[in-house]
Structure 1
């Protein structure tokens, strides 16, 4: 399932609806952790990998990581493959991919980041907070129906996995869910 929202309250409501106590959540664009705190509380038996490159996030998120026990903060740019590689080395699987990169800005960057991360991690569910993407999706309906049952674009297969990460398949099956590379 892929959910796109804009309003922060709707975004957090959707998080409350989809998260389960044992989930592994990768949160792209955590900023100072306001949504991260909610996610952490909703997945007490799970794990939250929260990533942001804003300088003001560092001390606040490091403090949150120490206090919660289930949040791991990465100060990094989600547009860089090195950041994705680091996350791939940290987790076995991703239940939920949460993308909030500025809320209303840069739908092209938000979609590209989502596409690459979701193609690689193959989350069960994705939630994206971006006004431009929501506007685009809601205004561009046609008679065609292409749907994805999971949190990544199944019709694209592995097309979004960066070539360097694709090489991981040789020594690590962790970034591929069973049967996913057959699509």
Structure 2
């Protein structure tokens, strides 16, 4: 399932409703960790959360949260960069939950690109995205075709990775597959 929200309270409510104790969660756009703390409490000591944020203001609060919760593994970096995705992939190969809150702003293009690469790489069972522009797009559109995904990622894309035209992502998901 893929949910889209804009209101932070609804976003957190739906996110927490879909998390179980022991879940592995990737949180893109953790900011100073307000949602991270809620996730860390819900997943318990057997769960893992991998928050990622590029903001210098996030580092100190996230360090404090990592001291308080041993299930948090913060990565300071830009979620759009290949080396950040690869660093995370070296730690985990998949996740239960993908949480994306990249400012919640109106413009959905970067948010969707980030969703696409992380979901096609980590194959979450559930994804929630906080972005007003995506909600506006979905609510303003209709289709004459029936195409659906029942998981937290777009199954029809499988391991196709990122098209070469999307220059800000230097990643092909196949490059992250183990060669065992």
| Same fold per superposition (TM over 0.5) | yes
1:169 equivalent to 2:170? Answer no
Change in Cα spacing, 1:170 to 1:35, as seen in structure 2 (3 Å) is closer
Listed one character per residue, the Cα deviations across residues 133-162 of structure 1 (whole Å, up to 9, x for unaligned) are 111011112232211111111112222353
2: CA distance between counterparts of 1:168 and 1:138?
Answer: 35
Listed one character per residue, the Cα deviations across residues 97-133 of structure 1 (whole Å, up to 9, x for unaligned) are 0000011243100000000110111111110000001
2: CA distance between counterparts of 1:48 and 1:31?
Answer: 14
Mark the runs of 5 or more structure 1 residues left unpaired by the alignment: 173-183
2: CA distance between counterparts of 1:92 and 1:116?
Answer: 13
Listed one character per residue, the Cα deviations across residues 27-56 of structure 1 (whole Å, up to 9, x for unaligned) are 000000011111111100200000000000
Query: What is aligned with 1:113?
Result: 114
Whether contact under 8 Å (2:160, 2:174) holds in the other structure is no
Mark the runs of 5 or more structure 2 residues left unpaired by the alignment: 163-170
Query: What is aligned with 1:126?
Result: 127
1: CA distance between counterparts of 2:129 and 2:153?
Answer: 11
Q: How does 1:131-146 map to 2 (within 5 A)?
A: 131-146=132-147
**1:109 counterpart SS class:** helix
Query: What is aligned with 1:176?
Result: none
Query: What is aligned with 2:102?
Result: 101
Which moves more between the two structures, 125-134 or 99-108?
99-108
Query: What is aligned with 2:69?
Result: 68
Listed one character per residue, the Cα deviations across residues 3-24 of structure 1 (whole Å, up to 9, x for unaligned) are 1111001101101210000100
Which moves more between the two structures, 101-110 or 75-84?
101-110
Query: What is aligned with 1:15?
Result: 15
> How many equivalent pairs are there?
171
1: CA distance between counterparts of 2:178 and 2:102?
Answer: 32
**1:42 counterpart SS class:** helix
Q: CA RMSD in A?
A: 1.3
TM-score (norm 1): 0.89
Residue 72 of structure 1 deviates from its aligned partner by: 0.8
**2:99 counterpart SS class:** strand
1:33 equivalent to 2:41? Answer no
TM-score (norm 2): 0.90
Residue 170 of structure 1 deviates from its aligned partner by: 4.5
